Amino acid sequence: MTSPISLKANFNNLIKHDGPAGLVVFLVALPLCLGVALASGAPLLGGILAGAVGGLIVSFLSGSDISVSGPAAGLTVIVATAIQQLGSFETFLLAVVLAGCIQFLFGVVRLGSIADYVPSAVIQGMLAAIGLVIVLKQIPHALGRDQDYDGDLAFLEGEGLNTFTDIVKGVITAHPGAVLLSLLCLCLMLAWDHFAAKGVRWMQLVPGPLMAVLLGIGVNQIYGIWAPSMMIVDADHLVRLPTPSSISGFLGEMKFPNFAAVTQQGVWITAVTIALVASLESLLSLEAADKLDPYRRISPPHRELRAQGVGNIVSGLLGGLPVTSVVVRTSANVYAGARTWMSSFVHGVFLLVASLAIPRLLNLVPLASLAMVLILVGYKLTKPKIYSEMYRRGWDQFLPFIATVLAVVFTDLLKGVLIGLVIGLFFVIRTNHRAAITVVNMENFFLMRLNKDATFVNKSELRSKLRRIPEGAHVVLDGTKALFIDHDIYEVAEDFKKMAAYKNITLEVKNF
């Protein structure tokens, strides 16, 4: 096999790996693009265009080999609110263009390293949480309940519903045809993976999720002939792609930015908000993508921000939604066998071409079959083995991990990561706090040594140890091993020196 590190997007690789993977990502991304657009109150075409831009533009400019970009569920509330406040979708598109310009500047001034400060346990927790959310959110779709839009990752769904109540209602109102179809698709993909792993050549070349989608179309059509009551006919249970009669009709549905609104304050506030949230989400997703990459390649974060910026500029100009790197699509890309950025590019080509050429055929795809594809992807992200491995690493790794999982599941991606980051920071401080200062003594002579850099984090420990110095002692405070000593530490030493005279204590400070 060609070394993956030096692998190029040549024709052979495109046929064997990236082409099939791009097709699978396209099938996964299609309902997600439509679902995000629907939830945002934007034209459905805006979701498709954003997905196509993410594939055709961002994948080419980004330095990541496996990351996939498109419209993100994490921005739906921001997008929906902004469209209402700005008064029109065209004015909102201007904010998207400006947000892209701001993101590009973020990349130019090298702000992409922010994600490097997120602990590994938190990133692992984010991945496991997204996998768990995917599984929980797709169970109702697999049962034939499609009340919640495809791509929603929020726990609360409105009207008193949440992820768990949606599953319960899905079980109660399960559609027999959807349940049987889902089970058949699941069995097919498991068997496909098994025989492909055993070395069946043609099964290695054809992705199992593609066959599951084709099976879903076929089974549903067979229902219509032999068991009409089991057929999935409601448009809410099928892919709903706009069906323009011609290319000119497709172009006629496109919206363009209202540049006359550039002086509106609300446009700039929206642009900055989108730029900040989309940049952070993209950087976190990029970090997660590098962990998922089987070849452990490291993606340049500054270049990613510039690529996302260009993507949002183009998407806004064409009438598309904001673009970010998305973990769900990236995960599907990895597990479909992608090796280079060409898989994401191929998925963008399929989104654009299929929307123009075969929208009616795609509208025959039951959401239940796509749900099973995503459930398998989600399971691979959140296997029980991952939780046991994190537990074996110790509480300082497991607690930030599991806190991130729970927070992402019950809130959203960014809030969950922030909560995990705070807990992770607590353990960093706690670890740094330990053994930072050692004290040895012989009778009334005390040597207090700073073993490493001393900051405000160590202030409490230093004060505590100084308080225990008995009256009449001679204390040497030695900073030889500390390359850096914070001003807070100086203040503690000065305060103790002033107090020491009242207890007949002499303080000698060395190498501060």
3-state secondary structure of 63: coil
Residue with tokens 């346990």: 121
Does 483 map to a domain?
yes
Whether residues 93 and 235 share a domain: the answer is yes
Band of pLDDT at residue 412, cut at 50, 70 and 90:
confident
pLDDT at 435 (0 to 100): 61
Let me know whether 321 and 448 are in one domain: no
112 & 183 share domain:
yes
- Which of 344, 366, 381 is a domain's end point? 381
CB atoms inside a 10 Å sphere around CB 341: 23
**323-327, 367-371, 458-462, 502-506: segment of lowest average pLDDT:** 458-462
The residue among 258, 273, 255 whose CA lies nearest residue 81 is 273
Q: What angle do CA 34, 301, 151 make, to 5 degrees?
A: 20
Q: Residue 19 — very low, low, confident or very high, per pLDDT cuts 50/70/90?
A: very high
User: Which of 358, 381, 404 represents a domain boundary (last residue)?
Assistant: 381
Pair 374, 457 in one domain: no
Rg (CA), the chain: 28
What is the total count of domains within the chain?
2
Residue 414 lies in a domain: no
Band of the pLDDT at 5, cuts 50, 70, 90? very low
Answer yes or no: do 366 and 442 share one domain. Answer: no
End-to-end alpha-carbon separation of the chain, Å? Answer: 57
5 in a domain, yes or no? no
The residue with greater pLDDT, 386 or 150, is 386
For helices 19-40 and 342-357, the axis angle rounded to 10 degrees is 60
In a domain, 98, yes or no: yes
Q: pLDDT value at position 431?
A: 63
H or E stretch at 447 = strand 445-450
Which 3 state secondary structure label does DSSP give 3?
coil
Half-sphere exposure of 3 (CA within 13 A, CB side): 3
Identify whether residues 353 and 450 lie together within a single domain: no
Q: Please check whether residue 428 lies inside any domain of the structure.
A: no
C-alpha of 172 from chain center? 32
Q: Is residue 393 part of a domain?
A: no
pLDDT at 284: 92
Q: Verify that 357 and 445 share a domain, yes or no.
A: no
Specify whether 184 is located in the same domain as 282: yes
Task: Measure Cα distances from 316 to 92, 99, 352, 461 in Å.
Answer: 8, 9, 16, 54
pLDDT (tens digit, 9 = 90+) per residue, 190-199? 999 999 888 8
Distance of alpha carbon 30 from alpha carbon 224, whole angstroms: 24
Q: Is residue 458 part of a domain?
A: yes
**Sequence-ordered list of residues with C-beta below 8 angstroms from that of 70, at least 6 positions apart, any chain:** 29, 32, 33, 50, 51, 54, 55, 323, 324, 326, 329
Q: How do beta strands 474-478 and 156-158 pair? A: unpaired
In this structure, what CATH number is given to the domain that contains residue 486? 3.30.750.24
pLDDT digits (tens, 9 = 90+) for 72-127: 888 988 999 999 999 999 999 999 999 999 999 999 999 988 877 788 889 999 99
Q: Is residue 389 part of a domain?
A: no
* Domain identity same for 89 and 175: yes
Give the rounded percent of residues in the chain with a pLDDT score beyond 70: 96
**Host domain of residue 488:** 437-510
**445 beta partners:** 442, 474
Within this chain, do residues 130 and 263 fall inside the same structural domain, yes or no?
yes
pLDDT tens digits for range 293-334 = 998 898 999 999 999 999 999 999 999 999 999 999 999 999
- Do 455 and 337 sit in the same domain of this protein? no
**Ramachandran angles phi, psi of 246, nearest 5°:** -155, 175
Last residue of a domain, one of 336, 359, 381: 381
Highest mean pLDDT among 47-51, 411-415, 468-472, 482-486: 47-51
pLDDT for 281 equals 93
Where are the alpha helices (H) located in 70-207, listed in sequence order?
Answer: 76-86, 89-108, 120-142, 163-172, 176-197, 201-205
Is pLDDT above 90 for 158?
A: no
Confidence at residue 2, expressed as pLDDT on a 0 to 100 scale: 42
Token couple for 335: 């597990």
Residue 477 bridge partners (DSSP): 448, 509
187 shares its domain with 318:
yes
For 454, which DSSP code? Answer: B
Q: Residue 502 contacts by C-beta under 8 Å, 6 or more apart in sequence?
A: none
Give every CB contact of residue 258 below 8 A, 6+ residues apart in sequence.
Answer: 88, 90, 91, 93, 94
